[in-house]
Amino acid sequence: MAQKVKLDISIAEYPHTAAILSGEIPIEGVEANFIRVHPQIGAFRRMVRQHEFDVCEIAPTTYIIARGYGAPFVALPIFVTRNFHHSGLLVRPDAGIKHPKDLEGKKVGVRAYSVTTGAWTRGILIDEYGLDSSKVTWVVDDEEHVLQLKLPSNVIHAPAGRSLADMMADGELVAGFSGNAGIGRAGSPTDGNWKQVEANYPEMFPNATELEDAWYKKTGVYPMHGTIVVKDAVLEKHPWVARSLFDAFSKAKEQWLKKFQSGEANAATDKKYRKLSQIVGPDPLPYGMSANLPTIKWLEDTAFKQNLTPKRMPVTETFVDPEKA
């Protein structure tokens, strides 16, 4: 490693990645050319469609679908954003939705079928509540990141000129995900005019935190969002890059973790992970294969069940263990 390998890298800045982006914590043996994309979701498409970067942070569902269709990059067990997903599915209070199975035969809005939040939530509804996802009509209003993805027949596009928020307001959708095209969160309407009242839809699970805690204890699954991938060609020529990346991300996280655990770090992101720590323990961003194997296997399983991947995607095809590279 006398001469550094130049790599184009696109990752978002978080409290636990900032030291890498600033150069304070170097990636050993690597001359990093950081390419900032705002928002990072823009890099997802550029990576899966043009394979633009050598190293990139992308959504795990986008990744596993792309890999299933032969994408020339592989993931490392470095997950830079995480969250649980019993919350965020909102229902119209007049739609009679009391249980997830009540969604069968109805229309539910989600920005794209492969969006990671939707995939995690559908997986929970399928595994824990017996939902037959194929009996729900999933209405989308955006294109999928991976163009090769063949959508199931029960996925349809919103009519031209109609947003998911409009469809929810007019009662065409009985449920939708918060943050999707203005679909609002929590509360109850005061004037009965759903077109005028946004952010007034109750959660499917009002006791989401309690359910998430119980689900984590039962399954050991801790959903990830931001996943670090590396081009196959890079690792074929320089296999040590996997360990260099893992070590740099781990050092940056440990630096943040000290401030996080002492209370010095107290930004909005820190507060989010402090809440998650009450469920998962003192490190809310565990890296490495052993700590994440149940989650990785669960994602592979649910992606296949939801017709997101064309075949089963075993761990050996989707992840490189940097601690063994």
Domain boundaries, the chain: 5-84+222-318, 89-214
pLDDT of residue 3: 87
For 242-263, write each residue's pLDDT tens digit. 999 999 999 999 999 999 999 9
Phi, psi of 240 (to 5 degrees): -65, -15
pLDDT less than 50: residues of the chain: 181, 185-198
Residues 221 and 123: their CA atoms lie apart, in Å, by 12
Task: Answer whether 5-84+222-318 and 89-214 agree in fold.
Answer: yes
pTM of the model: 0.93
Does the domain spanning 5-84+222-318 belong to CATH 3.40.50.1000? no
Residues 225 and 318: their CA atoms lie apart, in Å, by 15
For 179-206, write each residue's pLDDT tens digit. 754 565 433 333 333 333 345 799 999 9
Any bridge partners for residue 31, and if so which? 6
pLDDT of residue 197: 37
Three-state DSSP class for 142?
A: coil
DSSP result, 66-106 = HHHTT-SEEEEEEEEEE---SS-EEE-TTTT--SGGGGTTS
The structure tokens listed for 175 are 């449920």
Angle formed at CA 118 by CA 200 and CA 202, multiple of 5 degrees: 20
pLDDT of residue 187: 33
pLDDT of residue 188: 30
pLDDT of residue 203: 95
Using CA atoms, how far residue 15 sits from 80, 147, 271, 313, in Å, is: 10, 32, 12, 32
Instruction: Give the helix, strand, coil percentages of the chain, each rounded to 5.
Output: 40, 15, 45
| Cβ density class 125-150: b for 16+ within 10 Å, e for less | bbbeeebebeebbbbbbbebbbeebe
Contact 114, 289 (CB under 8 A): no
The helix (run of H) or strand (run of E) holding residue 20 is helix 18-21
Contact 197, 92 (CB under 8 A): no
pLDDT of residue 189: 32
Any bridge partners for residue 319, and if so which? 75
The highest-level CATH class for domain 89-214 is alpha beta
The structure tokens listed for 263 are 């209370």
